[in-house]
Amino acid sequence: DTGVSQNPRHKITKRGQNVTFRCDPISEHNRLYWYRQTLGQGPEFLTYFQNEAQLEKSRLLSDRFSAERPKGSFSTLEIQRTEQGDSAMYLCASSLTGQGGEQFFGPGTRLTVL
Amino acid sequence: GESVGLHLPTLSVQEGDNSIINCAYSNSASDYFIWYKQESGKGPQFIIDIRSNMDKRQGQRVTVLLNKTVKHLSLQIAATQPGDSAVYFCAFTGNQFYFGTGTSLTVIP
């Protein structure tokens, strides 16, 4: 499978714990995006990388959230001191510069904070 | 802030009929307007996009229309099939990437 992969697919954690998600983009894609989606809503942009550079961050991305893409390939999204409001589906997508609006999404990581 | 709105949260059509899904937006400074389809339990899937300097673009069974005067985007699906049942999101690019709240399309056999 050469699509975007995300791990884990599901994560249940207790409030206050830290969690980390991984995204592996399509190998030749230089752009990588993170989104959060809650039930009945569209994906909300969190941040995106071009190669290893983090170019944009949403105001939704509080100080408890951090994303990295150290070698311009896979990316991690860490949430520190999780809160119940962090419960959501976290989606990763990748694209190539010049592909217009087309992004390829992974299946997501569903986070449940108890 | 940016906003993307959809006129109808749900849409039901008979199999074989054409479907039209509408979207209103507020930001004029966008390079691309895009439609995505999301099936239950899956990530969004790109359908078609249109550059801001175009009015119409056609794909396989789909047509996207962009009316910048009234800031309106629509997706037309010809000969709707049961496999088209999903939630459809409009989106647009700016410094960030914005999605609407979605329209749930149900195709009645």
pLDDT tens digit sequence for A79-94: 999 999 999 999 999 9
| Other Cβ atoms closer than 10 A to B94 | 15
| pLDDT bracket for residue A32 (50, 70, 90) | very high
Please compute Rg for chain A using Cα positions. 13
pLDDT, residue B95, reads 76
Residue B61 Ramachandran class (φ > 0 left, ψ -120 to 50 alpha, else beta): left
Q: Across the interface, do A107 and B101 touch by the CB < 8 Å criterion? A: no
pLDDT, residue A15, reads 98
Judging by DSSP bridges, how do beta strands A31-37 and B10-14 pair with one another?
unpaired
Residues of chain A found within 8 Å of residue B92, distances taken between Cβ atoms: 101
Would you list the DSSP string of A30-85?
-EEEEEEE-TTS--EEEEEEETTEEEEE-TTS-TTEEEE-TTSS-EEEEE-S--GG
Quick one: which of A27, A25, A36, A26 has its CA closest to A79? A36
Q: What does pLDDT average to over chain A?
A: 94
pLDDT, residue B1, reads 43
Q: Across the interface, do B49 and A105 touch by the CB < 8 Å criterion? A: no
The answer, yes or no, to whether residue B33 has pLDDT greater than 50, is yes
Per residue in A11-20, pLDDT tens? Answer: 999 999 999 9
Percent of chain A exceeding pLDDT 90 equals 83
CA distances B69 to A43, A69, A100, B52, Å, are 26, 40, 22, 12
Q: What is the mean pLDDT of residues B2-20?
A: 79
Cα-Cα-Cα-Cα dihedral sign, residues B1, B67, A45, B105: positive
The answer, yes or no, to whether residue B101 has pLDDT greater than 60, is yes
DSSP B21: E
Tallying the residues shown for chain A, one arrives at 114
- Interface probe with A: pick from B53, B97, B104, most Cβ of A within 10 Å: B97
Please compute Rg for chain B using Cα positions. 13
The answer, yes or no, to whether residue B59 has pLDDT greater than 90, is yes
Chain B residue set in contact with A, beta carbons under 8 Å: 4, 31-34, 41-46, 49, 51, 89, 91-93, 95-102
| pLDDT bracket for residue A1 (50, 70, 90) | low
Q: A48 and A55 in contact (C-beta within 8 Å)?
A: yes
The answer, yes or no, to whether residue B94 has pLDDT greater than 90, is no
The answer, yes or no, to whether residue B20 has pLDDT greater than 80, is yes
pLDDT, residue B28, reads 72
Q: Evaluate the omega torsion of the peptide bond into residue A43 and state whether it is cis, within 30 degrees of 0.
A: no
Q: What is the mean pLDDT of residues A51-55?
A: 93
